[in-house]
């Protein structure tokens, strides 16, 4: 109140001469620098707080105007310095507007009664009929939402998490909406009970209702023409444009919706993309991408996923309604026109092709192909480990993390090989060997949880998994011994001892966060017992967990060294390290050679079909090379060859530091 004063009589007279009116001028307060010439044709009522105006505002196209309030109606509104408000068709009511804002040609901006601005709104993900609701809020992470949606077997935990969200929602509850500094709102319809963060740009939007836009100067939010948003939280760096519509949705950091994308009752976390298609009741973890028309994602959980054109799922299997759900674990893809009948679960980094109606569960067979043949799901285990596409995806995800906000909500682990995926491979090998033992080595087709596996694929799958396991174990051991010149075998043993016991057991993927299950259980117990009292403490715990990943990973490797490598870590010697390094080198080079051969398919004669129009075979090849380049100079191919050389040199360097101990 000390910053404001009442209007002088002369100022009131000037305002009235400029077409302004107010029933109670005493309720209009201004700052000391206020100049009435910059407020014209404005009707005011309720409590009005006006700063000073008159600064030149530059618009696109070189148009310059003075900040101020022109042709508007304001009720219970505070306007910050040098904001420009012009041509409000109805009114602005119950809002605080920050500095340097531009609000033009808007129908109505209003907060009607008390609002939590989308915080605490329950989104029914996965099961459209309810039961897995996630309460969205400003600080929501993929990991918090994962627990709230999937851990319904711990009702005390869910109740405590709900209480934390409700408490936070009450803290932000207000009868006054907020528009932050440097916000631009142009040519927009109704904005109702929406809190708009600083540096947001809104233009041509039809409707914004009951939500929060968490934009900031580091990573502004953009909402564009023809869009409509209702019951939402939009995180920093997000863009919603080109007629997209969302209702009952959380939008994660740096997520993009465009080209009439439609989403309802869904959660999208960091770096998701939605174009053309539709989403209903999905849990879209980081890097869930859908680009194509006629693509429907429904009642599923995804992350690091790319949906092919026309991909579809069904959550109606019987007659009790849309009650079924499915999970595509991290890194899975669907090809064009693929179909999955829920319930089903697809193992990590798998590819789904064709129509699948057998409710399969391949969680323990990662890196596989699921191919439909005669209404049967044929599974080829482990084959995706030698796919160029898999490695390309693993490299592109960190490069495509568009988050500029220093406060990153989701903690994302990009590792292709980790205790999470390696544990699955170990189970896969045991599973495949067991199938072969039970059915006999001469069996042509093996059956497992709704899928068929042929004999040759089973044998090759075991080989692929074993190579990947050796690669991972060698990577970890070489890293642990990096840069040290050991004087004795005892020094090697001592160096291998973990810094912490955390990580020895099972690992899980909490929608982007790969972590020891024991630590997640500890977090959940702390929530249940009331030791954690706010959302920020949960997020801080998860952030620290993520930052300690490699320490915990080593604990897992050390604990599994004897099981996998048949070597006791307490008795390990330089000659054992030599064996591990040589096997690691063989596995790395072997996988890279398979990638090299897979990449070569992209440069085969069949791939040149349609090149060299109207020309002879020589011109076809020449046209192909001009467009796609030559195989040996392709960036990916060169990176594979460089990787082979680099790892061979690393193996030699590691062995050189222990060779004097090898007898």
The structural domains of the chain, with segments of one domain joined by +, span 581-661
Cα distance between the two ends of the chain: 84
Contacts of 322 (CB under 8 A, 6+ apart): 127, 128, 129, 281, 298, 299, 315, 316
Q: What is the mean pLDDT of the chain?
A: 92
CB atoms within 10 A of CB 105: 15
Task: Supply the pLDDT for residue 320.
Answer: 66
Q: Which of 12-26, 461-475, 647-661 has the lowest mean pLDDT?
A: 647-661
For range 398-416, the mean pLDDT: 95
More reliable by pLDDT, 189 or 3: 189
Task: Supply the pLDDT for residue 625.
Answer: 67
pLDDT over 50 (residue 167): yes
- Tell me how far apart the alpha carbons of residues 635 and 192 are, in angstroms, rounded to a whole number: 50
pLDDT over 50 (residue 480): yes
Q: Which of 491, 507, 498, 636 is nearest to 572 (CA)?
A: 491
Q: How far does Cα 111 stand from its chain's mean position?
A: 31
pLDDT over 80 (residue 226): yes
Q: Which of 511, 513, 509, 128 is nearest to 296 (CA)?
A: 128
pLDDT over 80 (residue 318): no
pLDDT over 80 (residue 609): no
pLDDT over 70 (residue 663): no
- Looking up tokens 């531009």 gives 102
Contacts of 72 (CB under 8 A, 6+ apart): 41, 42, 43, 85, 86, 87, 88, 91, 92
- Tell me how far apart the alpha carbons of residues 41 and 15 are, in angstroms, rounded to a whole number: 8
Helices in 481-534 by DSSP H: which ranges?
A: 489-496, 517-528
What pLDDT digit, counting tens, does each position of 610-652 carry? Answer: 777 777 777 777 777 677 777 777 777 777 788 888 888 888 9
- Tell me how far apart the alpha carbons of residues 410 and 419 are, in angstroms, rounded to a whole number: 20
- Tell me how far apart the alpha carbons of residues 177 and 94 are, in angstroms, rounded to a whole number: 6
What pLDDT digit, counting tens, does each position of 561-608 carry? Answer: 999 999 999 999 999 999 999 998 999 888 888 877 777 777 776 676
Helix axes 419-439, 455-480, angle to 10 degrees: 150
Task: Supply the pLDDT for residue 610.
Answer: 74
What token pair was written down for 458? 């089973």
For range 57-85, the mean pLDDT: 93
Task: Supply the pLDDT for residue 647.
Answer: 85
Contacts of 307 (CB under 8 A, 6+ apart): 277, 288, 289, 290, 291, 292, 295, 297, 333, 334
Task: Supply the pLDDT for residue 629.
Answer: 74
Task: Supply the pLDDT for residue 602.
Answer: 72
More reliable by pLDDT, 393 or 145: 145
pLDDT over 60 (residue 2): no
Q: Which of 62, 61, 40 is nearest to 50 (CA)?
A: 40
- Looking up tokens 């599973």 gives 431
Half-sphere exposure of 155 (CA within 13 A, CB side): 1
pLDDT category, 59, cuts 50, 70, 90?
confident
pLDDT over 80 (residue 152): yes
pLDDT over 90 (residue 129): no
Q: What is the 3-state secondary structure (H, E, C) of 226-251?
A: CCEEEEEEECCCCEECCCCEEEEEEE
pLDDT category, 442, cuts 50, 70, 90?
confident
Residue 535's φ and ψ, nearest 5 degrees, are -65, -35
Q: Is 60 exposed, middle or buried (0-12, 13-18, 19+ CB in 10 A)?
A: exposed
pLDDT category, 504, cuts 50, 70, 90?
very high
Q: Which of 187-191, 238-242, 272-276, 643-647 has the lowest mean pLDDT?
A: 643-647
Q: Which of 65-79, 356-370, 565-579, 601-615 has the lowest mean pLDDT?
A: 601-615
Find out whether 326 and 311 touch, Cβ atoms under 8 Å: no
Could you tell me the CA-to-CA distances from 194 to 89, 211, 252, 281, 421 in Å, in that order?
Answer: 18, 5, 17, 23, 42
Q: Which pTM value belongs to this model?
A: 0.93
Task: Supply the pLDDT for residue 1.
Answer: 43
For range 56-63, the mean pLDDT: 85
Q: What is the 3-state secondary structure (H, E, C) of 129-165?
A: CCCCEEECCCCCCHHHHHHHHHCCCCHHHHHHHHHHH
pLDDT over 80 (residue 252): yes
- Tell me how far apart the alpha carbons of residues 393 and 106 are, in angstroms, rounded to a whole number: 43
Instruction: Determine what percent of the chain is predicted with pLDDT higher than 90.
Output: 79
């Amino acid at each position: 109140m000390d910053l404001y004063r009442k209007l002088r009589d002369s100022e009131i007279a000037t305002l009235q001469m400029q077409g302004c009116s107010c029933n109670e001028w005493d309720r209009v307060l201004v700052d000391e620098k206020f100049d009435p010439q910059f407020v014209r044709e404005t009707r005011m009522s309720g409590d009005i707080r006006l700063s000073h105006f008159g600064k030149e505002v530059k618009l696109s196209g070189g148009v310059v105007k003075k900040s101020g309030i022109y042709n508007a109606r304001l009720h219970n509104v505070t306007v910050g310095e040098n904001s420009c408000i012009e041509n409000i068709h109805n009114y602005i009511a119950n809002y605080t507007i920050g500095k340097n804002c531009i609000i033009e040609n808007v129908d109505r901006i209003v907060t009607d009664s008390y609002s939590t601005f989308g915080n605490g709104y329950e989104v029914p993900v996965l099961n459209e009929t309810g039961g897995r609701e996630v309460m969205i809020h400003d600080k929501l992470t993929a990991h918090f939402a994962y627990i709230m949606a999937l851990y319904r077997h711990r009702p005390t935990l869910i109740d405590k998490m709900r209480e934390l969200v409700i408490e936070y929602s009450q803290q932000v509850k207000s009868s006054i909406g907020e528009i932050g500094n440097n916000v631009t709102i142009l040519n927009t319809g109704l904005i109702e009970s929406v809190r708009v963060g600083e540096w947001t740009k809104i233009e041509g939007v039809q409707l914004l209702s009951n939500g929060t836009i968490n934009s900031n100067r580091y990573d502004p939010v953009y909402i564009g023409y023809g869009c409509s948003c209702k019951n939402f939280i939009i995180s920093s760096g997000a863009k919603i444009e080109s007629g997209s519509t969302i209702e009952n949705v959380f939008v994660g950091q740096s997520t993009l919706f465009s080209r009439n994308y439609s989403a309802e009752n869904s959660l999208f976390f960091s770096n998701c993309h939605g174009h053309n298609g539709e989403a209903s009741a999905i849990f879209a973890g980081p890097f869930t991408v859908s680009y194509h028309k006629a693509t429907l994602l429904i009642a599923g959980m995804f992350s690091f996923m790319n949906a092919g054109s026309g991909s579809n799922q069904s959550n109606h299997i019987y007659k009790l309604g849309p009650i079924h759900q499915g999970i595509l674990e991290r890194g899975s893809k669907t090809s064009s026109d693929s179909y999955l009948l829920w319930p089903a679960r697809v193992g990590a980094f798998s590819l789904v092709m064709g129509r699948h109606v057998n409710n399969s569960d391949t969680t323990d067979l990662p890196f596989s192909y699921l191919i439909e043949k005669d209404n049967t799901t044929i599974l080829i285990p482990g084959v995706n480990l030698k796919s160029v596409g898999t490695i390309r995806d693993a490299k592109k995800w960190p490069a495509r993390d568009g988050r500029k906000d220093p406060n990153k909500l989701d903690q994302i682990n990009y590792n292709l090989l980790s205790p999470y995926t390696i544990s699955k491979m170990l189970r896969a090998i045991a599973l495949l060997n067991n199938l072969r033992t039970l059915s006999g080595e001469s069996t042509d087709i093996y059956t497992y949880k709704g899928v068929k596996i042929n004999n040759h694929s089973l044998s090759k799958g075991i080989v692929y998994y074993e190579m990947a396991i050796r690669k991972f174990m060698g990577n970890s051991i070489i890293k642990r011994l990096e840069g040290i010149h050991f004087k004795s075998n005892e020094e090697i043993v001592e160096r291998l001892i973990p810094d912490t016991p955390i990580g020895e057991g099972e690992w899980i993927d909490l929608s982007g966060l790969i972590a020891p299950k024991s630590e997640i259980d500890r977090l959940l117990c702390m929530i249940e017992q009331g030791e954690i009292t706010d959302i920020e403490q949960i997020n801080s715990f998860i952030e620290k967990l993520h930052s300690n990943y490699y320490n915990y990973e080593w604990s897992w490797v050390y604990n599994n060294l004897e099981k996998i490598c048949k070597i006791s870590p307490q008795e390990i010697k330089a000659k054992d390290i030599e064996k591990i390094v040589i096997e690691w080198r063989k596995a790395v080079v072997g996988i890279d050679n398979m990638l090299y051969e897979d990449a070569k398919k992209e440069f085969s004669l069949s791939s040149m079909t349609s090149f060299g129009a109207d020309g002879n075979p020589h011109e076809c090849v020449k046209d192909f090379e001009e467009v796609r380049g030559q195989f040996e100079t392709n960036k990916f191919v060169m990176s594979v060859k460089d990787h082979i050389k680099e790892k061979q040199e690393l193996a030699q360097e590691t062995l050189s530091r222990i060779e004097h101990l090898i007898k």
